């Protein structure tokens, strides 16, 4: 389940939550957790009890129980347990969190429907153990698959596009502007970008209609790139297409920084002077992150420039100057011919 969720998540982003779990209203393992004492099933009676089809609707699975049993909650529990070694005031918190996780498993054990001849203490304890372990194993598989497959190969990122010198931008890496007098708007540019992403074996997802970006490109272990486009129509087939590239932190970057900052803050609170032995390595780590982010953005910017050249868009330099470039290959492919929910999967 975890591996399947990870592989499908970036193809159908709209059906998955922020932690990568599938949004599903069905039931497989019997009574939903915690619902038996929080809510009761609802029955549609109709107005004044005159409904023709008085169906019973089971209570949906508790969102609270889902989070209490998740691998993210368990990882936070372990982190606070380790932090409690140095901060005695926090020592009770991880035990309370672990108690909540065990309550989820206990609710499964109590409410499980087992045939009478197999309904023994050992069977109930086995159900409790499986209810406790299943979300952890599933979550671990989900994250492992994501970390392994949802990264563009390093050889692709290290490669460079072959562009004429005059086709290179000299401005900000995060912003691009292209001019066309033939009515070619951002859809042509996006179509060429999709072709290049597939040709070069990039990992990416496309906008589902609910995202603030057009394409999200999964780069290295630390960063991804969100690509946004907009076209200004100036009449007579004149179009100005703007592209914005934004760095996005991935989960591993956030986790590493939280751990490092926690250790750094604890160290500084327990000494009377500035400890450079901790500050300097963390500063070097931040420089490393910034370097990787810039390299990835520079590589994606090259890809955007090549895509623009393929469809015959002219780059707009600083102060509104338009660079006259001869396109290598004209590609008349609007982005709307590509399935909007598609993504490149391994």
Q: What is the pLDDT of residue 340?
A: 44
Q: What is the pLDDT of residue 343?
A: 45
Q: pLDDT-derived band of residue 286, with 50, 70 and 90 as boundaries?
A: very high
Q: Dump pLDDT digits (tens) for 111-162.
A: 788 888 888 999 999 989 998 998 888 888 877 776 776 778 888 888 887 7
Q: pLDDT-derived band of residue 7, with 50, 70 and 90 as boundaries?
A: low
DSSP 58: P
Q: What percent of the chain has pLDDT over 90?
A: 25
Q: Where are the beta strands (DSSP E) in 189-233?
A: 203-206, 215-218, 223-233
Q: What is the pLDDT of residue 240?
A: 93
**What's the mean pLDDT when you consider all of the chain?**
79
Give mean pLDDT, residues 173-188.
91
Give mean pLDDT, residues 263-277.
78
Where in the chain are the domains?
Answer: 2-149, 154-344
Q: What is the pLDDT of residue 214?
A: 92
For the entire predicted model, the pTM comes to 0.68
Q: Dump pLDDT digits (tens) for 190-213.
A: 999 999 999 998 988 888 787 889
Q: What is the pLDDT of residue 330?
A: 47
- Cα within 13 Å of Cα(272), Cβ side: 0
Q: What is the pLDDT of residue 220?
A: 84
Q: Dump pLDDT digits (tens) for 210-259.
A: 788 999 998 888 899 999 999 999 988 899 999 999 999 887 788 888 88
Q: What is the pLDDT of residue 215?
A: 92
pLDDT exceeds cutoff 80 at 176: yes
Q: What is the pLDDT of residue 9?
A: 67
pLDDT exceeds cutoff 80 at 47: no
Q: How far apart are CA 284 and CA 217, in angstroms?
A: 26
Helix ranges, the chain (H): 2-9, 35-38, 63-68, 71-86, 92-111, 121-149, 154-158, 186-199, 251-269, 276-310
Q: Dump pLDDT digits (tens) for 82-92.
A: 878 877 888 89
Concatenating the DSSP letter of every residue in 296-330 gives HHHHHHHHHHHHHHHTTPEEB-GGG-B-----S--
Q: pLDDT-derived band of residue 345, with 50, 70 and 90 as boundaries?
A: very low
Q: Backbone phi, then psi, for 197, in 5-degree steps?
A: -60, -40
Q: What percent of the chain has pLDDT over 70?
A: 73
pLDDT exceeds cutoff 60 at 311: yes
Q: What is the pLDDT of residue 327?
A: 47
Q: Are 269 and 86 in contact (CB under 8 A)?
A: no
Q: How far is CA 21 from CA 7, 14, 165, in A?
A: 11, 11, 46
Q: Dump pLDDT digits (tens) for 323-337.
A: 555 444 444 555 554
pLDDT exceeds cutoff 90 at 303: yes
Q: What is the pLDDT of residue 32?
A: 44
Q: What is the pLDDT of residue 71?
A: 84
DSSP 46: -
């Amino acid at each position: 389940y975890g591996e399947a969720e990870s592989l499908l998540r970036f193809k159908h982003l709209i059906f998955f939550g922020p932690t990568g779990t599938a949004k599903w209203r069905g039931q497989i393992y019997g009574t939903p957790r915690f619902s038996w004492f929080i809510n009761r099933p609802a029955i549609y009676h109709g107005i004044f009890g005159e409904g023709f089809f008085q169906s019973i609707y089971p209570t949906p699975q508790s969102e609270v129980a889902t989070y209490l049993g998740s691998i993210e909650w368990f990882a936070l529990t372990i982190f606070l347990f380790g932090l409690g070694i140095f901060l005695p005031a926090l020592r009770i918190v991880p035990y309370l969190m672990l108690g909540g996780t065990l309550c989820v498993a206990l609710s499964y054990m109590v409410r499980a429907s087992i045939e009478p001849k197999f309904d023994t203490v050992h069977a109930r304890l086995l159900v409790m153990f499986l209810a406790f372990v299943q979300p952890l194993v599933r979550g671990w598989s989900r994250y492992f698959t994501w970390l392994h497959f949802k990264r563009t190969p390093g050889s692709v990122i290290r490669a460079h596009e072959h562009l004429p010198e005059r086709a290179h931008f000299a401005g900000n890496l995060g912003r691009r502007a292209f001019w066309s007098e033939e009515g070619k708007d951002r859809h042509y540019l996006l179509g060429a970008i999709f072709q290049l992403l597939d040709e070069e074996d990039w990992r990416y997802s496309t906008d589902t209609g609910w995202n603030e970006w057009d394409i999200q490109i999964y780069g290295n272990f630390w960063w991804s790139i969100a690509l946004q486009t907009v076209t200004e129509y100036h009449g007579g087939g004149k179009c100005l297409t703007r592209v914005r590239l934004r760095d996005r932190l991935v989960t591993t970057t956030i986790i590493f920084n939280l751990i490092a900052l926690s250790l750094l803050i604890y160290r500084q609170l327990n000494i009377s002077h500035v400890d450079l032995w901790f500050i300097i390595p963390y500063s070097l780590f931040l420089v490393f992150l910034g370097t990787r982010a810039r390299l990835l953005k520079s590589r994606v910017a090259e890809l955007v420039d090549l895509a623009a050249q393929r469809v015959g868009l002219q780059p707009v330099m600083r102060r509104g100057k338009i660079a006259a470039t001869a396109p290598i290959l004209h590609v008349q492919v609007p982005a709307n011919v590509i399935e909007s929910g598609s993504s490149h999967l391994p």
